[in-house]
Structure 1
Amino acid sequence: MAKLQGFEFWKQTLKEARYVVAPMVDQSELAWRLLSRRHGAQLCYTPMLHAQVFVRDANYRRENLYNEVCQEDRPLITQAGVLKAALLAQDYCDAIDLNLGCPQMIAKRGGLLQDEWELLENMIRLAHQKLSVPITCKIRRLQDLEKTVRYAQMLERAGCQGTLLTVHGRTKDQKGALTGLASWEHIRAVRKAVNIPVFANGNIQHLSDVERCIQETGGPRRHEQGNLHNPVAEEYLDVGEAAPPLHAVYVRAHLFKLWHHTLQIHQDLRDDLAKVKTLDALADVSKQRGLRCQQEEGEGGLPLPHWICQPYVRPPRGCWRTRTGREDTLSKNKQKKMSRNPNKNFCPEHKPKYIKCEQCGNPKGNRVCVSLCRGCCKKKAFKEVADCPSEPSLTPSTAGGQSSVKLHHSTS
């Protein structure tokens, strides 16, 4: 039977899905997908599978995809990074998704980043030929709009023409505190340039954002990712009991996000949550949180009381100014250092300049008489049977009763 093409695939297999929960590393397990579907999601993705482990480990396959078939969890798209893993997964899902722009380390190790177009084109074409289910692709926008469009068109030609394309409106460098806003302009340009369905990804925190995204990107399809802070924690735990396997590590990661605002107030519960290792212990922490929140009033600065799940916007990093007046940002680690030492200066223009070793590029040794670091000077001294008069510890030991030759080694 021929694979469905483009919009026919979207209409028949994906049931014209408009509300889609994006794949999230270690956080798109069955329980979370079922919870999301209860609250309106029409299509879900599995987490990105670790392809090598999926191929060699039967237990990993069973826990992440081969569990009892759940009709409530369809349609379902699986993220698999290599062909061997995709062949093992294709009978348990409706399509295989290739994440070509994920900034997570699991994707970088697999080489699935969007820099090598020829390699990606060959890979997608081969997968399209070998798999019995359609191929979908997810990309992050490039800095240049026209180049983003050409990139999407290349993927369409390579084999994505049978299915759909998801466009994340952020670059691969927009992550963590540098996440910023997604560019819907890039998504709109891609949608106009290709002849396959396009899912929009980015800037979705509330249901009202969905319709605004549809209007601005020009189509009735969107890709939901910002749901980690919204579903109800207690309901998630109930769903997890009925949809094993559910690991405490997944649950704890979800609860940290769902309770983000509450844990800023009840920091001792954050410590308790970090320590527990079983589902029963996690349920106890959830009970303690519920009891504390029953009599509280909402905290200022939030649209809703802190105990109600709601979006979390990453704050910008701390800033400092260079001597030229340019403003830059600080990582969390540097912010902690600055809190301990308010006068600490992280400006690279103020850092001391070191002479580099001529051989390895490390800083030159302070007591070494040539332009080498201490390690390279030691190797040179032993090789030439010479002393470094500025650093006695680098003098070669005597051998065979003969003392080392006292020479100043040159920089040649």
Structure 2
Amino acid sequence: MPKLEGYEFWEKTLGKPRFIVAPMVDQSELPWRLLSRRHKAQLCYTPMLHASVFIRNHRYRKDSLASCEEDSPLIVQFCANDPEVFVEAAMLAQDHCVAVDLNLGCPQSIAKRGHYGAFLQDEWELISDMVSLAHKKLSVPVTCKIRIFPSVEKTVLFAQMLEKAGCQVLTVHGRTREMKGPMTGLADWSVIKAVKDAVKIPVVANGNIQSLKDVEQCIEETGVDGVMSAEGNLHNPALFEGTNPFFWDISYEYFTLVKAYPCALSAVRAHLFKLWHHSLLIHIDLRMELARAKSAEECEDICRRLQVRCEEEAAKHDPTPALGDDRQDPTATLGNSKQDLSARLGDDKQDPAPALGEGKLPHWLCQPYFRPTPAETEANRAEKNRKRPLAVIMEDQNTEGLSKSQLKKRVRNPTITFQSKAKKYEKCAKCANPRGMKCVFSECRACCKHTAHRAVADCPGHNLLFKSKQLKRLQWEAAQREKGLLTDETPTSEASNPDTRANNAIKEGTSQQLDSG
């Protein structure tokens, strides 16, 4: 059967998915994919897999490809920087998926160190070789996930290059590789629209997807074929349903799947921290217990206790539409996330507080988490520095000898103390080696052994006891003379050596027997 390509693959194999769960490192494991699918996700990816490790490590390969009949369609994603390695790994995975994806968008420091993901953006020839070789050799289509460039034109050319190389579906994350962590900011849908207009293959949009209304707005503004969510899905797996369920309902459903399809505890804890994020900000003690949990059963017990506390809080509040049986569209209460972010970024002059103020969803419901914008992050830092500038700290306290990082810590916490650095070893009096700290001659062991032997002296620090051993020998010889067992004519070396004396006695006894015979 010939390999399907482009929109034919998108429609016949994938079924024209609109709701897609992003590939997330260590958080797209089988139980989470199944949970997302049961709440209307139509396409899922495996976590990003390291191609070279996938080839050489059988257990890693087996765990990464864990799936079931319900987990379909599934795309396996790899990171790689070598065409042959990428294709070899993809050929091992092609019988377990409907397509293989090349990650060209990971912005994390580990991707920078490994030279893959978004840090391959400038090596177009290498990327083209990887995609074209995979397109020729694989029995399944190859897809790509990218981040945008600061320039719209360059992003469009990059997308066209991938299409020409053989990419059959292109996912575009509307942020640059520098937009991460505190500097994440708002994804630019206009660049995604430009890419969609420039290529003839299906395009998926990623970024700013926190609610079902965001999905609809993104498709309307960009004209993309599908929408992918990562962080929004982690905080609310029912995002594509347009509902905000109680976090414990989703958690118990997830625990059931974990029992049926066991996975790493680190992945379980990571998901629970996201699902319970808003409640754990209040119940900090349970947050600490979750961090120390050693099994999924312990996590489930913590969930029950957190549920009890939240139900008690809910009983004290007036019932709201979100808590009733007839649930309204939660985005009507919460406000459109893209508009909220735009307002917080300064695009909209209105105060964003009303959208997230009195109408905010109760913390026991699954809901989006809005990162502080870059402007807010810088403002918070400036406020901290304004309250306690570095110059004031240096005047108030002794900062001599502190490193740059220690000074920054002192700015954040003026009461912090630092342990003094360990003293450097002093040199031996005779050579460049470190001297023994308890050596009586202030020398290293080799030099000390030579000095103590010549001087017939002791060095307890190096456990060299030449003087003590000589005194002990002299005392033993004196005791032997008193007993008449030792004379002045007896060689000292023979008298003081038990083995030598025994051998001499044997020889003397043997010679006496020969004489008598």
- Name the TM tier (shorter chain): 0.7 to 0.9
Equivalent-residue separation in structure 1 for 2:141 and 2:375 (angstroms): 45
SS in 1 for 2:102: strand
Aligned counterpart, 2:99 = 95
Partners of 1:112 and 1:284 in 2: CA distance: 38
- Closer, same or farther: CA 201–260 of 1 in aligned 2, 3 Å: same
Could you state the TM-score of these two structures normalised by the residue count of structure 1?
A: 0.75
Identity %: 56
1:278 aligns with 2:295: yes
The one-letter code sitting in structure 1 at the alignment partner of 2:149 is L
Which deviations, in whole Å up to 9, do the C-alpha atoms of 1:31-55 show, x marking residues without a partner? 0000000110000000001222221
Cα distance in 1, alignment partners of residues 178 and 375 from structure 2? 18
Shift of 1:318: 7.7
- Change in CA separation of 1:345 and 1:273 when aligned onto 2, cut-off 3 Å: farther
Q: For 1:204-239, what per-residue CA distance to the aligned partner results, in whole angstroms no more than 9, with x for missing partners?
A: 100011110011002342222221101322221122
1:44–1:75 Cα contact (<8 Å) kept: yes
Q: Alignment partner for residue 310 of structure 1, among 367, 377, 382?
A: 367
Displaced runs of 4+ in structure 1, greater than 6 A? none
Q: Deviation per CA, 1:250-283, whole angstroms, max 9, x where unpaired?
A: 0000011111111110111111111112111111
- 1:238 matched residue in structure 2: 256
SS in 2 for 1:137: strand
Counterpart check, 1:3 vs 2:8: no
Cα distance in 1 for residues equivalent to 2:129 and 2:391: 48
Alignment of 1:69-80 (within 5 A): 69-80=67-78
Indicate if the aligned counterparts of 2:171 and 2:205 stay in contact, CA closer than 8 A: yes
Q: How far is 1:110 from its partner? A: 4.4
- Return 20-29 or 114-123, whichever deviates more: 114-123
Q: Give 1:30 deviation, angstroms.
A: 0.4
Segments of 5+ residues of structure 1 without an aligned counterpart are 321-327, 347-412
Partner of 1:397: none
Preserved CA contact (<8 Å) 1:63 1:245: no
Of residues 181, 201, 215, the one that matches 2:206 is 201
Alignment partners' CA distance in 2, 1:286 and 1:318: 35
Report Cα offsets for 1:109-152 as digits up to 9, x if no partner.
14233121111111111111121111000110111111110010
Structure 2: any 5+ residue segments left out of the alignment? 80-85, 238-249, 318-355, 393-517
Q: What does residue range 117-196 of structure 1 map to in structure 2 within 5 Å?
A: 117-160=124-167, 163-196=168-201
Q: 1:36 is matched by which residue type in structure 2?
A: S
3-state secondary structure, aligned to 1:42: coil
Deviation at 1:301, TM superposition (A): 5.8
SS at match of 2:305: helix
Cα distance in 2 for partners of 1:62, 1:106 equals 23
Q: Which of the numbers 342, 363, 370 marks the counterpart of 2:388?
A: 342
The higher radius of gyration belongs to 2
Q: Does 1:263 align with 2:267?
A: no
Change (3 A) 1:319 1:199: closer
SS in 2 for 1:8: helix
CA 1:235–1:157 in structure 2 vs 1: closer, same or farther (change >3 Å)? same
Q: Give distance in 1, aligned partners of 2:123 and 2:379.
A: 30
Tell me the CA shift for residue 196 of structure 1: 0.3
Shift of the 195–315 alpha-carbon distance from structure 1 to 2, 3 Å rule, reads: same
Mapping 1:34-113, distance limit 5 Å:
34-65=34-65, 67=66, 69-81=67-79, 82-108=86-112, 109-113=114-118
| Change in 2 beyond 3 A, CA 1:98/1:345 | farther
The answer as to whether partners of 1:317 and 1:330 remain within 8 angstroms in 2 is: no
SS in 1 for 2:235: coil
Residue correspondences, number = 330
**CA 1:196/1:175 → structure 2, altered by over 3 Å: closer, same or farther?**
same
Q: Secondary structure at the match of 1:136?
A: strand
Give the AA of the match of 2:283: H
Separation in 2, partners of 1:313, 1:345: 34
Call closer, same or farther: CA 1:301–1:45 in 2, change over 3 Å: farther
